[in-house]
Amino acid sequence: MKEEIGFHIGKEVSPLDKPPFRAYFHWTSEGQLVKSEDFSKQELEAEIASGQREGRELELFKEALNRLALSA
């Protein structure tokens, strides 16, 4: 059973394209949602610094952080 991860940048409440944005991550396995988490830019920085993420997950967290920085 292979778990996959994806993310998007968006807002929780407002449909308006104004900051602050969050990174929304979702993990799926066999097409079913396994877990979801969302992070602000500051929370994502702390999560990356913690050293608990690795591999593809870490790559996507860094990519999301870059996209959040550009959307500010």
Structure tokens at 14: 């407002």
Task: Give the mean pLDDT of the chain.
Answer: 90
Q: What is the pLDDT of residue 11?
A: 81
Could you tell me the CA-to-CA distances from 13 to 19, 20, 21, 29, 65 in Å, in that order?
Answer: 11, 11, 10, 27, 20
- Span 45-72, pLDDT tens digits: 999 999 999 999 999 999 999 999 998 7
Q: Domain spans of the chain?
A: 3-71
Q: What is the pLDDT of residue 20?
A: 81
Whole-structure pTM value: 0.86
